[in-house]
Amino acid sequence: MYDFTYHRPTSVADAVALLGSDVDAKALAGGQTFIPVLKQRLNKPSKVVDLAGLGLAGISLSGNALVIGATTRHAAVAGSADVRRAIPGLAALAGGIGDNQVRHRGTIGGSLANNDPAACYPSAVLALGATIITNKRRIAADDFFQGMFSTALEPGEIITSVSFPLPVEKSAYAKFNQPASRFALVGVFVAKGVAGVRVAVTGAGQNGVFRQTAMEAALTASWSPDAVAAIKTSAADLNGDIHGSAEYRAHLITVMAKRAIAAAG
Amino acid sequence: MGFEGIGAAVKRKEDGRFLAGRGNYVDDINRPGQVYAYFKRSDRPHARILRIDTAAAAAAAGVVAVYTGADFAADGIGGLPCGWQIHNKDGSPMAEPPHPVLAQGKVRHVGDPVVAVLAETRQQAKDAAELIEIDYEDLPGTASVLDALKPGAAVVHDEAPGNLCYDWQIGDKAAVDAAFAGAARVVRLDLTNNRLVPNAMEPRAAIGECDVAGNYTLYTTSQNPHVIRLLMGAFVLHIPEHQLRVVAPDVGGGFGSKIYHYAEEALVTWAAGKLKRPVKWTAERSESFMSDAHGRDHVSTAEMALDAEGHFLALRVSTLANMGAYLSTFAPAVPTYLYATLLAGVYKTPVIYAEVKAVFTNTVPVDAYRGAGRPEATFLLERLVDAIAHDTGIDRIELRRRNFIPANAFPYQTPVALQYDSGDYETTLAAALKAADYAGFPARRQAAAAQGKLRGIGISTYLEACGIAPSAVAGALGARAGLYEVANVRVNPTGSITVFTGTHSHGQGHETTFAQVVADQLGVPVSQVDVVHGDTARIPFGMGTYGSRSIAVGGSALVKAMDKIVAKGKRIAAHLLEASVDDIEFKDGKFSVAGTDKSKTFGEIALTAYVPHNYPIEELEPGLDETAFYDPKNFTFPGGCHVAEVEIDRETGVVRVVNFTAVDDIGRVINPMIVEGQVHGGVAQGIGQALLEQAGYDAGGQIVSGSFMDYTMPRADNIPNIHVGTESTLCTHNPLGVKGVGEVGAIGSPPAVINAIVNALDAYGVRHLDMPATSQKIWSILQAGAPRMAAE
């Protein structure tokens, strides 16, 4: 990696000030994407601002929302009794990200801010109609994801937490691994909650996570795997690579949706 | 002490330091005043180098030197040698184009080293490398052998027109053609063997050092330090052997990829001589993908002539083997003498003819990788046998039995040069089928079908040749080295023993197995035996570890050296016990006078040898230290039967290996626990090849799977519990009766897995499937056709 200065602020305001002081400053959350990128010299930050000292980790359950702090590790989400009870599909999703080491370093805020088109979390956030809370505002999931590696975050804006509305009646995630990286070749999160029935697909779309609205309509009418079995997704807007053509991904969306619905019960 | 000799599952002595992170790998070594080398490599498959401007890099902070191919040319350094010469059908030698240390004139593959930057820190070397300007004129490139042989294809080397390295043959073509002309039936199969990246856990690394007197030391991740000393010293840098020490300390896996002499070794040694400072280089993982020799990459056609009962009458094979952009050290031998000579397999096919074209392409050089040629031969043969069963309707087990070389036919001369000394293929087959509950498979298949899964079972009855190699035979076949092995047994005055072996352990556990052989023969505890390897300054000589040769060749040398120890010990004992040498027996660590209770322990004899107060000093030298060179009389021929059982998810195409059984004849077993581990590792790599691994290139030679994000290594959850069994016949020509186990797992397993998948897909009319059997490939097959009632 290239040389940079390392900063570990203890307040959001200080972090924002550091990030705002230099266009080449970069925020570090869990670093599970960022550190490999640095090691490959694909990014040359002037400053690395570590968010670990901001006190943003933690999970809190209130009557109408589950709020997960931005620097909460995947392993904490997977292991949280509150998450498992309130939104079991979210806990299961977090428990299937990467490997054990990744889950003990990676954070929900880092994953969302990066918006890797093959990341797992965006599908849950979109399907559950969550709200991304930053130091400046509250952003609905529908407005947050803006294409591959692109989000509504502005310069100097830091995710502080993510709020999932409750109650969630049903939730589950089914992921088909890209065999080498084990990111999602296709991941489908299905949910029935405050935002209604939602089906969000990650891994497959050229523009990152998206909602499969035809499946949502079918599931609203009848919540069962059979309801989506015949619903196909057009391959036109999907990714294709050495691990799976767009057509294969389109097919897997239906298969993973069926499995998620079955898992959600 | 419990039993620790041959056959005991002794825990590995070396594992304590490995598990505690106390190994001593090359990258753990740091020399005073060392500088760091970083290689600027070609990022394009094929291009002419128009200009290299290193001025800014040379002026950058911390930079000590910047070298290009021109510096080697100016120094009269030719390039990396090839250790094996193959001859064309017409008797002319193969094309052997130069393999410069740093590219000269052209780059020929992504990863080809172009400039070396040496700096005070690794970071500075890397920073400076970014300041190098290289102007390239891109040339068309090729990655596949089929493209490279097309008329008008871009020529990788002017010395090899048409990209042909050699066009070689073996066997009696006329007899084979005649047999085909009279055959009742001919079955043909076209197949490929996928290119693999070895991916040893430890990346390659090297440190060169030179003292003021011109004595060089190279620390390197090598499976054969003496071979590197010979190749680099004599053929590349012209350093006399007494002034070149090569140390290969703990090495974290090789699988063949660390046999070869690499450019980076030559550079750090040469530069250390120039700078009189140690030069260190450690590969990054991305460099490993583009610079460690790859494995496999064959395109073949196989045809079997059959009589009406399915007896094999003749085999005809035509193979195109990808050499990559340059000839790696042993590359030419892999698709010839390690491949085509194995095409008889376990079958009594009376005549065989094979022709092999080796082809240059704009890819990383290809050389031996776990199994080296034998997995390719086994995959071809065992897939062909299943295709014959498919086409003729003869049961695949019965077809194999009908054509097996029977157990009473040994020694058995094959039509492709090799003479098998021992084997019993029916016994390993029967044991494997029993252990795998082959008979119960239909019920398991039915149960799987009820769950919506397609279940298949496949077998492979394989044979390999290892224990490489009788030197005279290897030499006659083009080897430029002998392939004997060396052991020095040093009995210390208090009776402990240090063994110096020319083999090299990079995961195999020699420190334990070799100690067990000593414990068995000399009656000392394993804890009293230290096994030293990997240092040309300490070991008399040796050819290293590859081709499952260590116990068969190195172990035999060890036995020969111990025989000398015992013979001398008897003479000392005879003196002490006032008996005739002929009356001294050595057993269980004691020298005794036959028929009496008079005896001396091994320790007493050792002490006497070094404190020769009461000693036959007139006729016997003091000391107890013996060396033996052992040149094998023949190859060894492990074989056996692997059974794979798979389940396919109809919806996704995902294949899961649910059961795997390996019953191998590896000769005498020294340590059954280590044998099991070797088979596990080999099978894991074989399953990786069959299902997951593919070194991907686009048509022009750009790498598309250059990291673990895209190259699928097998992981624990891809591998089932593996049942390992052994059914041994003993090797008849080495003193331990051993055959070798390092490669059997990787050789026997890929066709078993693919045969199982084809079996699972029989209702879909599938006859063959190339590796890797990815989920997308299987899904495409499932999409293409609804199940048919019967194949064809």
pLDDT at B480: 87
Long-range Cβ contacts of B76-81 (<8 Å, 24+ apart): B77/B101, B77/B236, B77/B237, B77/B266, B77/B270, B78/B235, B78/B236, B79/B236, B80/B231, B80/B236, B80/B261, B80/B262, B80/B263, B80/B266, B80/B326, B80/B329, B81/B231, B81/B235, B81/B236, B81/B261, B81/B329, B81/B480
pLDDT at A14: 97
Domain B484-630: assigned CATH number? 3.30.365.10
Please report residues of A whose CB lies closer than 8 A to that of B774. Answer: 179, 243
Domain A59-264 fold: 3.30.465
pLDDT at B78: 86
Instruction: Give A187 to chain B, closest Cα distance, Å.
Output: 13
Q: Is the pLDDT of residue B1 over 70?
A: no
pLDDT digits (tens, 9 = 90+) for A12-48: 999 999 999 899 999 999 999 999 999 999 999 999 9
pLDDT at B790: 43
**Smallest Cβ distance to B692: which of A2, A179, A245?**
A179
Report yes or no: B133 and B55 within 8 Å, Cβ to Cβ: no
Confidence band, pLDDT 50/70/90 cuts, at residue B791: very low
Those residues whose C-beta lies under 8 Å from the C-beta of residue B610, and which sit 6 or more positions away, are B493, B622, B623, B624
Q: Do B692 and A244 touch (CB under 8 A)?
A: no
pLDDT digits (tens, 9 = 90+) for B485-500: 999 999 999 999 999 9
pLDDT digits (tens, 9 = 90+) for B212-262: 999 999 999 999 999 999 999 999 999 999 999 999 999 999 999 999 999
Q: Do A243 and B710 touch (CB under 8 A)?
A: yes
pLDDT digits (tens, 9 = 90+) for A72-82: 999 999 999 99
Please report residues of B whose CB lies closer than 8 A to that of A176. Answer: 652
Q: Do B712 and A180 touch (CB under 8 A)?
A: yes
Domain boundaries, chain A: 5-54, 59-264
**Smallest Cβ distance to B710: which of A242, A245, A248?**
A242
Q: Tell me which chain A residue has its CA closest to the CA of residue B703.
A: A242
Fold equal for B298-468+634-784 and B484-630 = yes
Instruction: Give B102 to chain A, closest Cα distance, Å.
Output: 23
Please report residues of A whose CB lies closer than 8 A to that of B776. Answer: 243-245, 248
The partner residues of B529 in beta bridges, in order of sequence, read B497
pLDDT digits (tens, 9 = 90+) for B700-757: 999 999 999 999 999 999 999 999 999 999 999 999 999 999 999 999 999 999 999 9
- Residue B198's nearest CA partner among B663, B627, B681, B526 is B681
Please report residues of A whose CB lies closer than 8 A to that of B127. Answer: 2
Q: Do B126 and A242 touch (CB under 8 A)?
A: no
Determine the average pLDDT of the residues in A185-199. 97
Instruction: Give B774 to chain A, closest Cα distance, Å.
Output: 8
**Smallest Cβ distance to A255: which of B123, B652, B713?**
B652
Determine the average pLDDT of the residues in A191-199. 96
Instruction: Give B792 to chain A, closest Cα distance, Å.
Output: 27
Determine the average pLDDT of the residues in B136-143. 98
Q: Do B705 and A248 touch (CB under 8 A)?
A: no
Give the number of residues written for chain A.
Answer: 265
Q: Is the pLDDT of residue A154 over 70?
A: yes
Q: Does the CB of A243 have a partner CB in chain B at under 8 Å?
A: yes
Q: Do B710 and A252 touch (CB under 8 A)?
A: no
Separation in Å, CA B479 to CA A147, B338, B536: 58, 12, 22
Q: Is the pLDDT of residue B792 over 50?
A: no
Domain boundaries, chain B: 31-139+201-253+258-291, 298-468+634-784, 484-630
Q: Where are the beta strands (DSSP E) in B464-496?
A: 485-491
What is d(CA B426, CA B501) in angstroms, rounded to the nearest whole number? 36
pLDDT at B481: 87
Instruction: Give B705 to chain A, closest Cα distance, Å.
Output: 9
Domain A5-54 fold: 3.30.43
Look at residue B448 and give its three-state secondary structure.
Answer: helix
Q: Does the CB of B3 have a partner CB in chain A at under 8 Å?
A: no
Q: Do B696 and A41 touch (CB under 8 A)?
A: no
Q: Is the pLDDT of residue B2 over 80?
A: no
What is d(CA B725, CA B663) in angstroms, rounded to the nearest whole number? 4
Q: Do A179 and B774 touch (CB under 8 A)?
A: yes
Computed over every residue of chain B, the mean pLDDT equals 96
pLDDT at B189: 98
Determine the average pLDDT of the residues in A149-156. 94
pLDDT at B249: 98
Percent of the residues in chain B that have a pLDDT greater than 70, as a whole number: 99
Instruction: Give B747 to chain A, closest Cα distance, Å.
Output: 23
The partner residues of B280 in beta bridges, in order of sequence, read B36, B207
Domain B31-139+201-253+258-291 fold: Aldehyde Oxidoreductase; domain 3 (3.90.1170)
Instruction: Give B709 to chain A, closest Cα distance, Å.
Output: 4
Q: Tell me which chain B residue has its CA closest to the CA of residue A180.
A: B712
Domain B298-468+634-784 fold: Aldehyde Oxidoreductase; domain 4 (3.30.365)
Report yes or no: B352 and B176 within 8 Å, Cβ to Cβ: yes
